[in-house]
Amino acid sequence: MTDEKDSDTKRVAKKLTIKTELNLIGIVKAGMEYIKEHINVEKIKEKAFDESTAATSGYRSTAATSGNRSTAIVEGEDSVAIALGARSKAKGALGCWLILAEWEENDDGMYRKDVKCFKVDGEIIKADMFYMLEDGEAVLVDSGDENE
């Protein structure tokens, strides 16, 4: 190869040796190896369930979370946001449904105290606002709060 570059990007070689032929399987395999080498599986396991978010935008869809301090968000007409973990919250567009859980702690640990369903009607339950279940009631949560 020559070292001439000037203003073009063409390179010329008298001889070219191909060491490995790339095909789709090889590219996928190399990508998987790269990912395995560069991710921290233990860190992912820690976050896999708690502090997660489920969101949907399709009609009559469902976003469900069961991890603690998680978030469920729905936007499509007649959709359901289900937040069943401790200190979890949900929000939905007008006409959607929110299913919220309340947890309590005793000597044996945490247990689900209550689960209730609310329709986002725009009056009692506001659209696009986060709610949690506290004392059996849907309580508005500031969206800036990190699941309190």
Res 114: pLDDT: 94
Provide the 3-class DSSP secondary structure of residue 44: helix
Strand-strand pairing, 97-106 and 109-119 = antiparallel
User: Quick one: pLDDT at residue 134?
Assistant: 96
Domain ranges of the chain: 51-141
> Residue 34 belongs to what H/E stretch?
helix 24-38
Q: What are phi and psi of 13, to 5 degrees?
A: -135, 145
Give the helix, strand, coil percentages of the chain, each rounded to 5. 15, 35, 50
Strand partners of residue 56: 74
Interval 32-83: pLDDT, tens: 777 667 666 555 444 446 677 888 777 888 888 888 889 999 998 889 999 9
Give how far the C-alpha of residue 13 lies from the chain's centroid of Cα atoms, to the nearest Å.
Answer: 50
Question: Is this prediction's pTM over 0.95?
Answer: no
120-137 pLDDT, tens digit per residue, is 999 999 999 999 999 999
